Structure 1
Amino acid sequence: MSTLLAAADTGLKIDWTRMPTYNTIMSLAAGAGLLLIVALGFRLVNGHPVVSESWALAFGVLGIILFATGLHMTLTWPLAGQGFPFDNIIFGEPSLAFGVLLLAASFYLWKRGTQFDTEPDRERTAAVLTGPISVFVFGLGLACLGIAAAGWKYTLFAAPPEEPISGEFADHPMLEASFMSSLYVLVGVGALVFPALLRRRTKATTWIVGVCWALSGLAFLGFGALNYFTHIGLIVNTM
């Protein structure tokens, strides 16, 4: 498989000095970011008050995490030694892109977010502001679908037997591959519909974007938290 992974008598061994991994915090931040975007959109659409500074702080914190980790993973090729170079594309580049988007939103909300309390049609204002960047969001949606397709074809997300919980399904690699690929499909579908939502908000477009990003956000948040146990266990079991 690679020089980092050796099938010894005691099982899988990994040289962790050459395989840094932090998609745990990436998953947490991405999940929280998706949920917060849905929550902010709900408040804007339904006329609820928006304390722009609080949202700016939240998006800023998550954006910094995703930007820093995503940038490092994207520019360090490959980050995980010689073992999993595709992780740079699967986790690094989407995290970098999402992090930059969150930082841009944070900056605007911090500097100009109070206008949402004074604009008579703040939904329209939000649509005009995010209209140009929706082209990039649409492109990211296509990228997510590409990642999902690669995950299914090459079973990229399958965990080794040495990983707790996830490793119990090592004999069924398509199970975890399907789970993770499905999350990317949800994010991708929401991103593809997002420009249509901005042009003309309907019940259908609102429902699709909101449900896709809320479900994937919850899943990424929960899966990232779970991975703090499973990844620590994998490290302990393969040192």
Structure 2
Amino acid sequence: METARLLAAADGPLKINWAEMPTYNTIMAVAAGAGLLLVVGLGRRLAGRGTVLHPEGWALAFGVLGLILTLTGLHMTLTWPLAAGGFPFDNIIFGEPSLAFGVLMLAAALFLWRRGTILEEHPDRPGYVAGIAGPVSIFIVGMGLACFGIAAAGIWYELFAAPEQEPISGLLADHPMIEATFISVLYALVGVGAVLFPAALGAPRGPLGRVVGFCWALAGLLFLIFGALNYFTHIGLIVNTM
């Protein structure tokens, strides 16, 4: 899901030197989508009175996804540009948010592993979580604002459009604003949830908590499905442009 005009050759069929164009936003999208769904799922369990948490299971899930996002995000963030054939903005759009989300998930995994029993038995789970997560929520708000910036850039510069050589997504190559709008809306949804996160911490069942849950659940589901779809479309793009 890249900008077709930046990949297009002046004449002849599109050819890409894939040795200089590493791409793995497939697994990043799947992991990020699953991570958002996990956060929403855990939030609902925390809000339910007497609900059994099984914190070790959540810690393992957060740890697995956090490790994937941290490693891929860190590599993409520090390797500038990751793709020598173009797309230095991918380092910012995909690498940095993945790194931020991955580290946050690893921190949550560590907390759940070491303090999960205390959390499960606490009489006021939302209040306890609000006290723990309050300080880091400042960073979450900042990354939410960053997601707004990415969404605006996606629309303004018509990013994310696939070339016609990419299966399925390439059918929209002549209409770049469709995919640009779709991906930008996903980032905007994540941004809305992140900005409202501190206010929703203490009352996950309140109106703001429900908005955060809706935004992250919808964005997570779409990121997961789109990332899984890209396993086919990106393989097809590679085959068609070697």
Fold shared, TM-score > 0.5 on shorter chain: yes
> Who is 1:93 aligned against?
96
> Who is 2:39 aligned against?
37
Aligned-partner SS, 1:13: coil
CA distances 1:86-119 after superposition (whole Å, capped 9, x unpaired): 0000000000000000000001111111112221
Where do 1:29-108 residues align within 5 Å?
A: 29-47=31-49, 48-108=51-111
Percent identity of the aligned residues?
66
- Partner Cα separation in structure 2 for residue 98 and residue 227 of structure 1: 21
> Who is 2:220 aligned against?
217
The amino acid of 1:40's aligned partner reads: L
Task: Return the match for 2:185 from 182, 192, 202.
Answer: 182
- Partner Cα separation in structure 2 for residue 204 and residue 189 of structure 1: 14
Q: Does 1:207 align with 2:210?
A: yes
Normalising by structure 2, report the TM-score. 0.95
> Who is 1:161 aligned against?
164
- Partner Cα separation in structure 1 for residue 8 and residue 171 of structure 2: 19
CA distances 1:36-72 after superposition (whole Å, capped 9, x unpaired): 0000000000121101100000000000000000000
The unaligned stretches of length 5 or more in structure 2 are none
Pick closer, same or farther for the CA change 1:29–1:136 going to 2, 3 Å.
same
Deviates more, 1:195-204 or 1:59-68: 195-204
> Who is 1:19 aligned against?
21
Aligned-partner SS, 1:14: coil
- Partner Cα separation in structure 1 for residue 229 and residue 205 of structure 2: 36
Deviates more, 1:196-205 or 1:19-28: 196-205
Q: CA deviation at 1:211?
A: 0.2
Are 2:55 and 2:113, in contact at CA under 8 Å, matched by a contact in 1? Answer: yes
> Who is 1:28 aligned against?
30
| Structure ranking higher on relative contact order (CA contacts 8 Å, 6+ apart) | 2
Task: Return the match for 2:114 from 104, 111, 123.
Answer: 111
Q: How many residues align?
A: 237
Normalising by structure 1, report the TM-score. 0.96
Pick closer, same or farther for the CA change 1:5–1:79 going to 2, 3 Å.
farther
The unaligned stretches of length 5 or more in structure 1 are none
Deviates more, 1:209-218 or 1:114-123: 114-123
